[in-house]
Chains A and B, each alone.
Chain A
Amino acid sequence: DGGITQSPKYLFRKEGQNVTLSCEQNLNHDAMYWYRQDPGQGLRLIYYSQIVNDFQKGDIAEGYSVSREKKESFPLTVTSAQKNPTAFYLCASSSTGGSQKLFFGSGTQLSVL
């Protein structure tokens, strides 16, 4: 089945630790995205990538980093510089084109120990 796989489903971070969230898609989509979801605030864009080896900052990129070495993969690292990392993180992908819908993964809940 085609889709987006995020792992792990739950992740805990210690003080000062970097953690990496995985996102893999087999939909052959060029574009991939990371969103952060906080209660009552909807989704905010962290980073997005339109093509391999290229990515752009979204609205809240500080304290996060990404890479796009393969078309299928777009991992997100939450660094120790992100002081409030507890949130639900959603990865998405889409084909290019203005009206193309996003396909979402099932999310990773990150909490701070």
Chain B
Amino acid sequence: GDSVTQMEGPVTLSEEAFLTINCTYTATGYPSLFWYVQYPGEGLQLLLKATKADDKGSNKGFEATYRKETTSFHLEKGSVQVSDSAVYFCALRDANDYKLSFGAGTTVTVRA
């Protein structure tokens, strides 16, 4: 079945550092790919998405490109802030299904 594997955390960075969280997927069809973010004590919020190969999703300075050849959707941000401290989840949804399959989540802590 469909699955997502993302980089294990936790990740600790200084403010203004570069952030990369790796995400790879396994799917039989052509899934849509998502990054969700969870702030402490809250539910998840959609950060960005891409629906087809070579699409780039972007939001709040974060970017991720749908790479079909490497089955990857790595999340990047050039200069992180303390407010970016959260848990980040990579997810996929098969085109023929409504379910989302999530990765294990990566906890990111940004220090001032």
CA distance A4 to B44 in the complex (A): 12
Q: What is the total number of residues of chain A having a CB less than 8 Å from a CB of chain B? A: 26
Nearest chain-A residue to B32 (Cβ)? Answer: A99
A85: Cβ under 8 A from any B Cβ:
no
Q: What is the total number of residues of chain B having a CB less than 8 Å from a CB of chain A? A: 25
CA distance A58 to B34 in the complex (A): 19
- Cβ–Cβ contact B102 & A104, under 8 A: no
CA distance A31 to B105 in the complex (A): 23
- Cβ–Cβ contact B43 & A42, under 8 A: no
B46: Cβ under 8 A from any A Cβ:
yes
**With a CB–CB cut-off of 8 A, which chain A residues contact B94?**
98
Chain B interface helix/strand/loop/mixed: loop
B96: Cβ under 8 A from any A Cβ:
yes
**With a CB–CB cut-off of 8 A, which chain A residues contact B22?**
none
Q: In residues 1-57 of chain A, which contact B (Cβ within 8 Å)? A: 4, 6, 31, 33, 35, 40-45, 48, 50
Chain A interface helix/strand/loop/mixed: strand
B104: Cβ under 8 A from any A Cβ:
yes
A96: Cβ under 8 A from any B Cβ:
yes
- Cβ–Cβ contact A106 & B98, under 8 A: no
- Cβ–Cβ contact B45 & A94, under 8 A: no
Checking A96, A99, A106 against B49 with a beta-carbon cut-off of 8 angstroms, the contacting residue is A99
- Cβ–Cβ contact A102 & B104, under 8 A: no
Nearest chain-A residue to B30 (Cβ)? Answer: A98
- Known contacts A40-B104, A42-B89; 8 additional CB pairs below 8 A are A43-B89, A45-B99, A45-B101, A94-B98, A99-B49, A101-B49, A104-B43, A106-B42
Q: Give the interface of A toward B (CB within 8 A).
A: 4, 6, 31, 33, 35, 40-45, 48, 50, 58, 90, 92, 94, 96, 98-99, 101-102, 104-107
Of the A-B pairs whose beta carbons lie under 8 Å apart in the complex, a sample of 18, sorted by A's number, is A31-B98, A35-B102, A41-B104, A42-B104, A42-B105, A43-B44, A43-B89, A45-B99, A45-B100, A94-B98, A99-B32, A99-B49, A99-B51, A99-B93, A101-B49, A102-B36, A102-B44, A104-B45
